Amino acid sequence: MEQTPDPRDHGRGTPDAAPPSGSGTASARPSGQPGVPLDAVDVATRALPVQRAARSATPPARAHVTSDDERPAPDEVPTQRVTRRETRRTLRAADRAAEAARDATVPDTAAPDTAAPDTAAPGTAGPAPDRAPRTGQSAAGSGRRARRARAVEPASSGAGPGDAPAPGDADHAEDGPAAPPVSRSRRRRAATAGKPERAAGAPDGVLVDVVVIGAGQAGLSAAYHLRKAGLVPVGDRGWEDAAATFVVLDDAPAPGGAWQHRAPGLRVMDAHGVHDLPGMPLLVPDPAESAARAVPYYFAQYEEAFGLHVQRPVTVTRVEDAGERLTVTSHLVDAPETTVRWHARGLVNASGTWRKPFWPAYPGREVFTGRQLHSRDVREPAELADGHVVVVGGGTSAVQLLLALARVTTTTWVTRRPPLWRDGQFTPEVGRAAVALVDERTRAGLPPGSIVSVTGLPLTDEYRAGIAAGVLRARPPFSRLTPDGVAWDGPPRSHDAVDPAAPDDEARALGAWVDGPDEVVARTVVWATGYRPALDHLTPLRLRASGGGVVMDGTRVVADPRVHLVGYGPSASTIGANRAGRDAVRTLLEHLTPPG
């Protein structure tokens, strides 16, 4: 059994690492399960905007529009692409044609047994050519049916005329400028064909099999394996009639997970290795490329390639036990009134740690008159050029920040343990070994520690130069903060103190703590001390054990086997996140599939 770190434990931060091929078989919906309430589906899919391309200096990923027959297999990467502008132009033209058709009145020539026409639902295009209107009716229909088909509740949809189409509408663009409209009544008949009627008293919302919260590396890995197992994502064409479905909810406005928030100076080569997502390699021509540019662009391409239809920006506020299902309550980040409830049989939580930075408790923090920042909030080193900076933390973020600050000001580096330097590159083999060691700690009931505490810091030429210049020579933890800086009380610690895991004499010498003055005057203290898991939305499930942590068996939560946590502890690294996404899907689908 393994246990995730307890947010109430103030002893250490979570890994300061990358922000944070088996497959199962999807099962069909069990007999007697209520059908999908279509009114709720209409509101839900319109309330959640279509995925937008990465907003960074990197050229954004263009929308990849495919028909059902052309949707790539999980191991294929499509090549045909249609720009989002072209898609919107086509859809708007189709909408204008549909609007013109609604205003036209058809002569009374229809056969007596001709069925009433279907009205184009909001966001769909063109009049239906295969059905004629009843005698004396317009092409849009009449009476209550027409009003219901046109109606969109502004408070619930979050979208108005001229906004982006609902998820899945872009799939029609490749087939021509005027795809047939699909009315609410037709969607109702298609989605409930062969399925039991909605049971009396069934909850409002959207029925899905699996909800994935978060679209970072672990969340995208899980979504890939769900699609590979045969589940259809919400927003894909025909998802309402699929035997098994899933949805990915992400609170970021664009693809990239926590990588889009990383400091511009963090390069791909420095980020513990950025490893390929399953099924599609990361092709980075220059390892010195900014990770904040390269990785979000890669994630955007990945989401489009496999048609994952990530719903964003959507925040999840609560996950509750509703008997046979879990109720996941969500809303648009900037519109809390657009509440959508997803009723799922299983949950993969990959919400990460970025939104919960860890601030250690130090005496005197309240009396320090300078500025205190977490490393995630430092965007440009020049902003801190007005005085000496103390950087606390022993991970990659701290090292990169120190090198950047050295160009504009003076610094002092403080670490909880002597820095652990290792020669050689960070390879997949090193990453897998690190994940195994962290996993061993958590299974033994110990806090996972950081990835750097296992892998060490690479002795690159740049880092060697920083060590030689004294920028990357660390001091032991200070005793307290003062109004003007930090202070060390008592006898100085031995400068011979080294990490016992240091692989050789050179690493021991370079990582040894150095002496310094008892007090250091500083304008800024930067806490590069990691993060805590963002699990507040899971509080209603009461997953924590008596000790305060969540007891885990692999990715599965022991207290509720329908819930899996990925991207924490041993799966906080990019290699671990890929493996955790795969294992979580396999284990969850095995649990959800009835015996026999």
What is the rounded CA–CA span in Å between residue 301 and residue 56? 14
Task: Answer yes or no: is pLDDT of 413 > 60.
Answer: yes
CB-based contact 477:494 (threshold 8 Å): no
Average pLDDT, the chain: 70
What is the predicted pLDDT for the residue at 485? 98
Q: Three-state DSSP class for 553?
A: strand
| Tens of pLDDT, residues 508-556 | 678 889 999 999 999 999 999 988 888 999 999 999 888 777 888 888 9
Total tally of structural domains belonging to the chain: 1
Nearest to 210 by CA among 341, 336, 344, 78: 344
Q: Three-state DSSP class for 468?
A: helix
Task: Answer yes or no: is pLDDT of 36 > 60.
Answer: no
534 belongs to a structural domain: no
Amino acid sitting at position 159: A
What is the predicted pLDDT for the residue at 153? 34
What is the rounded CA–CA span in Å between residue 112 and residue 93? 33
503 belongs to a structural domain: yes
Neighbours of 535 (CB within 10 A): 20
Beta strand pairing call for 551-553 and 325-332: unpaired
CB-based contact 436:443 (threshold 8 Å): no
Residue 272: both structure tokens together: 């513990």
Domain that holds residue 416: 371-423+459-527
Task: Answer yes or no: is pLDDT of 328 > 90.
Answer: yes
406 belongs to a structural domain: yes
**Residue 517 belongs to domain with CATH number:** 3.50.50.60
Most confident of the following: 255-269, 403-417, 498-512, 582-596: 403-417
Q: Three-state DSSP class for 288?
A: coil
Confidence of residue 223 (pLDDT cuts 50, 70, 90): very high
What is the predicted pLDDT for the residue at 543? 92
List strand residue ranges (DSSP E) for 333-392, in order. 335-349, 371-374, 389-392
Percent of the chain with pLDDT over 70: 53
What is the predicted pLDDT for the residue at 336? 86
379 belongs to a structural domain: yes
CB-based contact 223:358 (threshold 8 Å): no
| Tens of pLDDT, residues 83-93 | 445 545 544 55
Positive/negative CA dihedral, 226, 229, 234, 237 = positive
Residue with tokens 């095995």: 590
Confidence of residue 355 (pLDDT cuts 50, 70, 90): confident
393 belongs to a structural domain: yes
Residue 106: both structure tokens together: 């058809």
What is the predicted pLDDT for the residue at 17? 39
Neighbours of 521 (CB within 10 A): 13
486 belongs to a structural domain: yes
CB-based contact 419:457 (threshold 8 Å): yes
497 belongs to a structural domain: yes
Percent of the chain with pLDDT over 90: 38
247 belongs to a structural domain: no
This model's pTM is above 0.85: no
Across 34-47, average pLDDT: 35
Task: Answer yes or no: is pLDDT of 437 > 90.
Answer: no
Q: What is the 3-state secondary structure (H, E, C) of 173-200?
A: HHHCCCCCCCCHHHHHHHHHCCCCCCCC
